[in-house]
Amino acid sequence: MSEWTVPPPSSQGRPGWQPQRPVRGGMVALGAGIALFAQVLAIGVGILATGDAADAVRLVLILQIPVFIGVLVAGVLLIVKGDRGLGIGLFIGWAIGIVALPVVGFGVCVWAFSGTTV
């Protein structure tokens, strides 16, 4: 009875694919920073472009759509092309921004309208 083993992996890698680079923390942080900056920019434009709070909220939500699409397309393309750190960072930064920025904004509004000074 012969024993079957898995052949050793080719040193060439998969055809048509580039070798994957290691995920570097600095690139992940850069991608997260880019995504967060895009969200802060969308929020700033939404607030500065309108005079009414309800209109500002609507515009900020509308501006989040191109930010999401940009992060999604750029992140997937970067990951597929082998720059996983920057692509993953874009996704992480966008997710952090979606959760953290409304909480920070709520805190700033409460502080601003509470009448207390620091």
What would the DSSP string read from start to end of 31-54?
A: HHHHHHHHHHHHHHHHHHT-SSHH
pLDDT of 1 > 80? The answer is no
Q: Whose CA is closest to 72, among 87, 85, 84, 82?
A: 87
- State pLDDT tens for residues 10-66: 655 555 555 667 889 999 999 999 999 999 999 889 888 987 888 888 998 999 999
Phi, psi (5° rounding) for residue 81? -80, -5
- State pLDDT tens for residues 79-103: 988 888 999 999 999 999 999 988 8
**For residues 102 and 12, what is the distance between their CA atoms, to the nearest angstrom?**
48
Structure tokens at 39: 């969200």
Contact 22, 88 (CB under 8 A): no
